[in-house]
Structure 1
Amino acid sequence: MTTWAIAANGLRKSYGDKTVLDGVDLHVAAGSVFALLGPNGAGKTTAVKILSTLISADGGRAQVGGHDLATGAQAVRAAIGVTGQFSAVDGLITGEENMLLMADLHHLPRSEGRRVAAELLERFDLTEAAHKPASTYSGGMKRRLDIAMTLVGDPRIIFLDEPTTGLDPRSRHTMWQIIRELVTGGVTVFLTTQYLEEADELADRIAVLNDGKIAAEGTAEELKRLIPGGHIRLRFTDPAAYRAAAAALGEAAPDDDALTLQLPSDGSQRELRSILDWLDSTGVEADELTVHTPDLDDVFFALTGDARIPHQTDQTSQPNDINEPAQPTQATQSKENAR
Structure 2
Amino acid sequence: MKVESVKAELDEYIKKNTSVITSGVYSDEVQLDKYCKKVSQIKGKYPQFHKVFGRVVQGFKAEWQALGEMQFKAKVLQNFRQKVNLEIIVDEIYNTWLSDLKIEGKTPEEQPISKVIIAELLEKVIDDISDLSIIGDRDGGKADGEFGYSLNGIAKVLSIAQVNTKNPLFTISLNTPTSLNILEEFKDFERSVPSKVRKKVKRIFCSENVRLMHQDSFIEKYGDHTGFNDSRLNVTETYKWEIVGLDNLPDNVIFSTVEDNMLKLVDVIDNPPLITQTQIQDYVLKIFMEFHLGYDFAINELIFLADFGGVKKTGLNNEDLNKLYYSMEQLND
Report the TM-score, using the length of structure 1 for normalisation.
Answer: 0.27
Report the TM-score, using the length of structure 2 for normalisation.
Answer: 0.27
Greater relative contact order (Cα 8 A, min sep 6): structure 1 or 2?
2
